[in-house]
Amino acid sequence: MAEWSTLLDSVVGVGYRHPTATPRKEHRVNPDPDKIRTARLAAKMSIEAACDAADISKTALINIEQGHTKDPSSGRLGRLAKVYGVPVDSLYRKDETDDAA
Query: What global pTM score does this model have?
Result: 0.66
29-100 domain in CATH 1.10.260.40? yes
Residue range 28-70, pLDDT digits in tens: 568 999 999 999 999 999 999 999 999 999 999 999 999 998 8
**Nearest-10 crossing angle of helices 58-65, 74-84:** 90
Q: Which is more confident, 71 or 34?
A: 34
**What does the pLDDT look like over 19-29, one tens digit per residue?**
555 545 444 56
| Residue from 48, 73, 101, 51 nearest 91 by CA | 73
Query: What band does 94 get if pLDDT is binned at 50, 70 and 90?
Result: confident
